[in-house]
Structure 1
């Protein structure tokens, strides 16, 4: 069953999730970083820098900078593709999976608090 929100409810939900992230202990990512992370975790692998850049319609350096940050946080890891050494494969990590799951839980909790 689809969820129906009025624009004001959708914006309030986004605000409340953002506030929860800012007040929480987990690192807060930029919108671009979060979009890249969710693409890696929600879309089927394999993921490459080139593929992510094309999917998000940004340059490869944009993806690389975001992956540098997320790699330092252990949310993703990078490995050379053994079949084509020119490609860098982006892999999910346990830490990243837990981060994404926790983020989903925050969204659910804040959505439940929305006034009807």
Structure 2
């Protein structure tokens, strides 16, 4: 699982919530994500923050759609905001789910588990 967030605290919090069930890769920005996807490092799902410097989450989704890897990698978008138009845009770009910060551990676990189905 790839956790993408420019804040190390948020990446650590997600790993703490999800526990040792998963193997984790981490990225701080969208450029790192594209490099990892290009190298085909075996990413089975992704937790992707929207607001990052050096290429935001929507830029990553755009690239994933252009390269057609969005169909192979379930993406759960992460945001501290919940505006309906932002959520619609993310779903239209192919995300699997959407998680709002601050994280609710039960919600995070369930939504990640749901990407298995």
Which TM-score applies when normalising by structure 2?
0.25
Structure with greater strand share of residues: 2
Structure with greater helix share of residues: 1
Which structure would you say has the larger Rg?
A: 1
Higher RCO structure (Cα 8 Å, ≥6 apart): 1
